[in-house]
């Protein structure tokens, strides 16, 4: 059972958001109540991974947090000789992720690694999943990270990319932000929690517009990019090499 997120329930001097022990404790509740469609996105990413996994290859979960996508991919892999590599640069997340994954049995090997995905060697990949992780990478490093992923994907391999996005203009962006805040209110977050979380996250999470994602992925060489899920300013894409 997950613990209820009340990190921003009391008025406080808001610091920049970080994936520390306090966040780890409440993370499943936090992400479920904050990201529209999170459960659908995670389960569909697993199905897509099952569809695109190639034998004798690696599947990556970059910014794995507690390993939700790793678990979902692991449940769906029917191909021979695949392994999953799950990486996060938060020590607290990685420790809890290991515990979490050990709670479920599977024949698919999983390596859980503490590390910065910008420094990670990606090899022989058929599927690379980034579920709401790229948005935390500084803008100047996004292109190089995606180029590295593309270069080490096998032909026919896929990038599964979920992101919070910015709308084209301020009016539409405000509309999507309002709808998202309404979703959070509906899930029990107070006005104070919504506004303090917004302050905490604004310096660390910087969404790109959908056009920027499409152009970057196509410039890098991906032959097809398709949005398969969007609700308000949250979307999930598949990019095929």
Binding residues vs ligand GEK (CB under 6 A): 19, 31, 42, 63-65, 68-69, 87-90, 93, 116-118, 131-133, 136-137
- Angle, alpha carbons 143-134-199 (nearest 5°): 125
CB of 241 to ligand GEK, least distance (A): 21
Report the nearest approach of ligand GEK to the CB of residue 139 (Å): 13
Work out how close the CB of 55 gets to ligand GEK at its nearest, in angstroms, rounded to a whole number. Answer: 25
- 197: its two tokens: 């979380």
Integer CA distances (angstroms), 12 to 4, 9, 59, 123, in order: 18, 9, 41, 44
Nearer to ligand GEK by Cβ, of 162 and 218: the residue is: 162
- Residue closest to 165 by CA, chosen among 126, 132, 125: 132
Q: Which residues contact 7 (CB under 8 A, 6 or more apart)?
A: 22, 23, 26, 30, 197
Our CB check for ligand GEK shows the closer of 85 and 87 to be: 87
The Cα diameter of the chain in Å comes to: 52
Q: What length does the chain have? A: 241
Query: Residue number with the shortest CB distance to ligand GEK?
Result: 63
d(CA 215, CA 17): 29
Shortest distance, position 80 Cβ to ligand GEK, whole Å: 26
In the bound complex, what is the minimum distance in angstroms from residue 185's beta carbon to ligand GEK?
A: 18
Residue 169 or 196 with smaller CB distance to ligand GEK: 196
Q: Please identify, using beta-carbon distances, which residue of 79 and 90 lies nearer to ligand GEK.
A: 90
Complex with ligand GEK: residue 80 or 202, whichever CB lies closer:
202
Q: Least separation, in Å, of the C-beta of 140 and ligand GEK?
A: 13
Q: Any residues with CB less than 8 A from the CB of 42 and at least 6 apart, and which?
A: 68, 69, 72, 131
**What is the closest distance, in whole angstroms, from the C-beta atom of residue 141 to ligand GEK in the complex?**
8
User: Helix 139-151 crosses helix 210-220 at what angle (to 10 degrees)?
Assistant: 40
CB 129 within 8 A of CB 44: no
């Amino acid at each position: 059972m997950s613990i209820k997120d009340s990190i921003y329930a009391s008025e406080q001097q808001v610091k920049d958001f970080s994936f520390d022990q306090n966040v780890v404790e409440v993370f499943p509740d936090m992400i479920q109540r904050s990201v529209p469609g999170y459960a659908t996105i995670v389960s569909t990413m697993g199905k897509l991974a099952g569809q695109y996994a190639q034998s004798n290859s690696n599947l990556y979960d970059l910014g794995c947090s507690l390993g939700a996508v790793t678990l979902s991919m692991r449940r769906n892999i029917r191909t021979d000789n695949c392994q999953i590599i799950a990486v996060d640069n938060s020590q607290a997340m990685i420790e809890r992720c290991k515990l979490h994954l050990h709670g479920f049995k599977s024949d698919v090997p999983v390596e859980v690694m503490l590390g910065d995905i910008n420094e990670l060697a990606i090899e022989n990949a058929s599927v690379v999943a980034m579920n709401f992780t790229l948005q935390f990478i500084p803008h100047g490093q996004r292109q190089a990270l995606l180029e590295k992923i593309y270069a080490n994907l096998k032909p026919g391999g896929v990038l599964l990319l979920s992101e919070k996005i910015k709308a084209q203009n301020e009016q539409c962006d405000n509309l999507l932000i309002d709808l998202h805040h309404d979703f959070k209110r509906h899930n029990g977050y107070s006005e104070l929690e919504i506004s303090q979380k917004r302050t905490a996250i604004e310096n660390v999470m910087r969404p790109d517009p959908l056009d920027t994602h499409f152009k970057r992925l196509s410039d890098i060489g991906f032959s097809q990019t398709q949005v398969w899920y969007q609700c308000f300013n949250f979307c999930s894409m598949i990019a095929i090499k």
